[in-house]
Structure 1
Amino acid sequence: MTKRTLGIIFGGKSSEHEVSLQSAKNVYDAVDKEKYDVVLIGIDKEGKWHLNDTGNYLMNGDDPKRIALNKSNKGIAVVPGESEDQFIEKSSASALEQLDVVFPILHGPLGEDGTMQGMLKLAGLPFVGPDVLGSAVSMDKDVAKRLLKDAGLTVADSITLKKHKKDTVSFEEVEGKLGLPVFIKPANQGSSVGVSRAGTKEEYTKGIETAFRFDNKLIIESAVKGREIECAILGNEEPLASGVGEILPQGDFYSYEAKYIDEKGALLQVPASLSEEMIKKVQEEAVKAFEALECEGMARVDFFLKDNNELVINEINTIPGFTKISMYPKLWDLEGISYPKLIDKLIELAIERHDRNTRLESKYF
């Protein structure tokens, strides 16, 4: 069997840097080393790229609170265009081993928002997860909401606010339109980074300031009372939905700490205790959302299930967490797809899409 060379790109100049390190560790540990030669490329918080040794690429790898990238002395330069030398090790000016496919396990801006996907596309490399457009529109909560509503799906009522117009919407206006409490979210962040719950004017003012630290656009969203339901999607042109899981937060909401640091911060109920009819409805709407946002490869779709059985889409995550307490791999494991097999399927989907796209005509004359 011919082994493929898999590049795993992780870390990143993002507030979700440490989450990415955890996910990369799990992905690397689960990869079938009989099938793949793995090249690890770590991006530090300053945005510099490092060729990492598989034996010591992380510091405090088993501690989510202290995990860090072990920066190497081997910097990497990227060469755009389809060639055999997409990545160059700077100190030696030598090309890295030719990569067959890339798993960009990067969360948040500059990794999940279409920027990395565009660079990999320019380099002529197959990559796991949605293409440029699906990544970009899914990351932007404001744009995603508009597309989901246009597809006939239900989203929470919200107000979009840009930093240069931050004084144009008052607390009183927000209360009148959305009620209280509200959630204030940076439009282009994930993992609950910069998210605040506001029930008073003081909390609202503080929440606005916090969200604008992470993005130049935010959404102010009405609180939806309901169960937190999640469904995993896998596939390209014919996506499949997993079974359904439920998040049972132990605090006010499913915070960053509950998702990635505190194993007791939330309970994951897999499968969720739902009727067969409701499970089917969740799966159908998850696939519909996946397709409405032009996604391929993978995504996790998060819902609120209200007491009247109405489903409200919270968000869609195109590079879901792959940490040891993440829902996406757990849901596919429930379907009989183990972690290594899931990685295989994601890689095959990446190559399938790349091959499909390379067959398109690029010359008119």
Structure 2
Amino acid sequence: MTQDKKVIAVIFGSVSVEHDVSILTGLQIFEAIDSTQYTPIPIYIDQNGQWYSGDELLNRKNYHFSQNIKDRLHKISLKICSNHNLRPFFEIENNSFFKKKNKIFFDVAFLALHGGAGENGQIQGLLSMLNIPFTGTDHFTSSIFMNKSLTKKILKDHNISVLNDQIIKKPKSLSKKNILSEINLKFPLCVKPCNLGSSVAVSKVTNEDDLFEALLTIFQIDDMALIEPFVENLVEYNISITKCLSDKIELSAIEKPIKNDNLLCFKDKYLNDGNDFDNKLQSPFSQGMASSSREINPKLSKKNEKFIKDSAIKLMEIFNFNGAPRIDFLSDEKSDEIWFNEVNPLPGSLGYYLWENADNPTSFTRLLSALIEQANNLSKKKQYP
């Protein structure tokens, strides 16, 4: 008798500025998951926070949804059960008081969410409270990693080099004079949201007028802005780390993203092949972050390569996290100075292309399976008596 396949709820979308990238990641998971071991079901959260399921979600041509498509989807809600040892399920909503509501049972929640509540610990906290297995970092670690300034402070205390920074909180009154009077760093500066990822709303500013405009933009999507000295001759390096593949810590390949301007922006990361989001969805295989321009295993000084790898391992030792987050670094290409930048708990495309090019190459399918089994095994350890 063969064992039943685990049902994997692949959750993507969400109320986030990175909503569209999350859709690409979700579709990639469906194409790469081992269907001999798992039965994936799509769980989509729209930009208003409504949860849906249905086979229409698997057809990339259906994005963005017309009302006709939405009418063919099932509105669902995650049910809270008092017995934490019961199998988790979604309930399909209907408008009839008397009609029995159908249930969608699952075993593991695979988080393909980027930014917002999907990456900052909120959904992780909910699933953890309900004892539902989920992939990626836990709620505590996720919340820290999504706060760039807090993460930097912790790593600085562990002697990892970071840029000086200043936090500007969104004031009740957006007075230019009052806001600029708080700045104590010298131009040029780099300004970005403190609690968002993927280079959203990052800008270089060289004067007070540009700085104020950049802050106004950030305050529309975040309550805190992070200001740092701008790094001249800027290059970025990224690496992923995990312990889900074996009993030991493993590192991915290092990448050097190719930027079109002074800063690596959201478009460089996700749309740099000349396609917009809609075109990516229509392509034979939605590559998402994997289609961005990059150099894999670039030439690095031994000093910087050691710093990147040692910092990633130190980060794992400090937080003992799960999943396979991506760790980003900034460097001045001429002076060869390098600094830790930020952690991306759930990177676009899950950074699978970094693992395919690691010293110990790992396929996307194997990475997905390892993340699922890690989540399942951790949940078993937390079972209630």
What are the superposed Cα offsets for residues 136-180 of structure 1, whole Å, 9 maximum, x if unpaired? 100111221221212221221111111127658654663xx4322
Q: Which residue of 2 aligns with 1:334?
A: 357
Cα offset, 1:264, TM superposition? 5.5
In the alignment, structure 1 residue 123 sits paired with structure 2 residue 130:
yes
Letter in 2 for 1:96: I
The change in CA–CA distance for 1:257 and 1:44 in structure 2 (over 3 A counts) is same
What corresponds to 2:202 in structure 1? 195
- Alpha-carbon distance between aligned partners in 1 of 2:65 and 2:143, rounded to the nearest angstrom: 27
Matches within 5 A, 1:69-218: 71=70, 72-81=72-81, 82=84, 83-91=86-94, 92-97=100-105, 99-164=106-171, 170-171=179-180, 174=183, 177-218=184-225
Matched, 1:257 2:267: yes
Letter of the 1:203 counterpart: D
The code of the aligned residue for 1:356 comes to K
Q: Distance in 1 between matches of 2:320 and 2:224?
A: 22
Instruction: Tell me if the contact between 2:124 and 2:134 (Cα under 8 Å) persists in the aligned partners.
Output: yes
Residue 219 of structure 1, CA deviation: 1.1
Please report the RMSD computed on the Cα atoms of aligned residues, expressed in angstroms.
2.5
CA contact under 8 A between 1:17 and 1:107: conserved in structure 2? yes
- Do structure 1's residue 344 and structure 2's residue 369 form an aligned pair? yes
Matched position secondary structure for 2:23: helix
- 1:280/1:154 CA distance change after superposition, 3 Å: closer
Alignment length (residue pairs) = 348
- Residue 232 (structure 1) aligned with residue 235 (structure 2): no
| Counterpart pick for 1:318 among 345, 355, 374 | 345
Q: C-alpha distance in 1, partners of 2:378/2:241? A: 16
- Cα shift readout 1:304-339 (whole Å, capped 9, x = no counterpart): 1334443301110000000xxx7x211100121011
Q: 1:340 to 1:198 in 2, by over 3 A?
A: same
SS at 2:132's partner residue?
coil
Q: Indicate the larger mover: 152-161 or 277-286.
A: 277-286
- Residue 314 of structure 2 is aligned to residue 296 of structure 1: no
Rounded Cα–Cα distance in structure 1 between residues aligned with 2:51 and 2:209: 41
Q: Is the 8 A contact 2:199 2:265 kept in 1?
A: yes
Compute the TM-score of the two structures, normalised by the length of structure 1. Answer: 0.87
Deviation, structure 1 residue 248: 2.0
Report deviation, 1:56. Answer: 4.2
Contact (CA 8 Å) 1:58, 1:67: kept in 2 or not? Answer: no
Distance in 1, Cα, partners of 2:313 & 2:219? 32
Deviations 1:276-318 (A, max 9, x none): 5543331111121244345322100000133444330111000
Correspondence for 2:18:
16
Distance 1:277 1:304 in 2: 14
Task: Report what 1:248 is aligned to.
Answer: 258
Alignment partner, residue 278 of structure 2? none
TM-superposition CA deviations, 1:71-114 (whole Å, max 9, x none): 353111122242324321122512212x2211110000110000
- Aligned-pair distance for 1:116? 0.8
Per-residue deviation, residues 44-65 of structure 1 (Å, max 9, x unmatched): 0000000121x5445547xxxx
What letter matches 1:339 in structure 2?
F
User: Could you say what secondary structure the match of 2:293 adopts?
Assistant: strand
Deviations 1:205-246 (A, max 9, x none): 110100000011111121123421111111268432112111
Q: SS at 1:354's partner residue?
A: helix
SS in 2 for 1:96: strand
Secondary structure of the corresponding residue to residue 117 of structure 2: coil
Paired with 2:158 and 2:64, the residues of 1 have a C-alpha distance of: 40
Q: Which amino acid aligns with 2:355?
A: W
Read off the aligned partner of 1:131 and give its amino acid letter. D
| Structure 1 CA distance for aligned equivalents of residues 41 and 120 of structure 2 | 23
Take 2:61 and 2:205, find their aligned partners in 1: how far apart are those partners?
Answer: 35
Distance in 2 (CA, whole Å) between partners of 1:317 and 1:68 is 28
Q: In 2, Cα distance between the equivalents of 1:169 and 1:351?
A: 51
Question: Where does structure 1 differ by over 4 angstroms across 4 or more consecutive aligned residues?
Answer: 66-70, 165-170
Equivalent-residue separation in structure 1 for 2:305 and 2:210 (angstroms)? 36
Secondary structure at 2:258 match in 1: strand
Question: What residue identity is the alignment partner of 1:156?
Answer: L
Distance in 1 (alpha carbons) for counterparts of 2:130 and 2:58: 24
**Aligned-partner SS, 1:103:** strand
In structure 2, stretches of 5+ residues that fail to align are 95-99, 276-291
What is aligned with 2:226?
Answer: 219
| TM-score, length-scaled by structure 2 | 0.83
> What is the percentage of aligned positions where both structures have the same residue?
27
Letter in 2 for 1:88: E
- Letter matched to residue 80 of structure 2: P
> 2:15·2:49 contact (CA, 8 Å) conserved in 1?
yes
Q: Distance in 2 between matches of 1:300 and 1:23?
A: 15
Mapped to 2, the partners of 1:227 and 1:68 lie a distance apart of: 38
User: 5+ residue gaps in structure 1?
Assistant: none
